[in-house]
């Protein structure tokens, strides 16, 4: 019974004890979303809320689990040397299509305010490279996210 509860908690928080780097798929994704929220040196409540909502939707987790995951991601980012430790997990785990979906989520956090500043553009480009996306895929993601935000404002 205790073992089942522990397993459920690990799954809810996105922990994967089989990950040799200490970063699992959920944690890596959350870290990249948070890093984008901070790319312009200011994490707004709207950006954090967007990251939380995306984690809930993408991983089918509840609000509390998403918030706990963001807190763990925050701590992991504080100790991280580079983003490679997070992108490596995604490259090792996800298909190319799934990596495109993660970059789209990151772009959506960046576009929460309706545009991409130069720091957000740089980070998005860097993540696309680290996740082995083609330039055309990156450009399409960026354009479609901006168009979606513009359409939502109408």
Quick one: average pLDDT of 129-140? 94
The domain defined by 2-153 carries CATH number 1.10.3680.10: yes
Q: What are residue 21's phi and psi, to 5 degrees? A: -85, -10
More confident residue, 43 or 88: 88
d(CA 108, CA 80): 23
Both tokens assigned to 95? 């298909």
Instruction: Give me the residue spans of the domains in the chain.
Output: 2-153
pLDDT band of residue 10 (cuts 50, 70, 90) is low
Query: Tens of pLDDT along 23-38?
Result: 599 999 999 999 999 9
CA distance readout (Å), 13 to 27, 38, 126: 9, 22, 27
Query: Tens of pLDDT along 60-118?
Result: 999 999 999 999 999 999 999 999 999 999 999 999 999 999 999 999 999 988 778 89
Residue 40 DSSP symbol: T
pLDDT at 55 over 80: yes
How many degrees, rounded to 5, is the angle at CA 100 between CA 9 and CA 67? 30
Q: Can you give the pTM of this predicted structure?
A: 0.83
3 state SS of 35: helix
pLDDT band of residue 22 (cuts 50, 70, 90) is very low
C-alpha closest to that of 99 among 75, 52, 134, 50:
134
Query: Which pLDDT score is estimated for 153?
Result: 72
Q: What is the dihedral of CA 8, 63, 109, 32, to 10 degrees?
A: -30
pLDDT band of residue 151 (cuts 50, 70, 90) is confident
């Amino acid at each position: 019974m205790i073992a089942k509860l522990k397993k459920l908690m690990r799954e809810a928080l996105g922990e994967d004890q089989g990950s040799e780097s200490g970063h699992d798929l959920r944690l890596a994704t959350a870290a990249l979303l948070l890093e984008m929220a901070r790319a312009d040196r200011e994490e707004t409540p709207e950006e954090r809320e967007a990251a939380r909502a995306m984690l809930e939707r993408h991983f089918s987790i509840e609000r509390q689990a998403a918030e706990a995951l963001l807190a763990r991601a925050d701590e992991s980012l504080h100790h991280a040397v580079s983003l490679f430790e997070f992108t490596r997990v995604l490259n090792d785990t996800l298909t190319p299509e799934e990596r495109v979906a993660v970059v789209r989520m990151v772009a959506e956090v960046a576009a929460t305010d309706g545009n991409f500043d130069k720091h957000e553009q740089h980070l998005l480009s860097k993540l696309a490279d680290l996740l082995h996306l083609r330039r055309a895929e990156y450009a399409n993601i960026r354009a479609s996210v901006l168009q979606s935000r513009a359409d939502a404002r109408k």
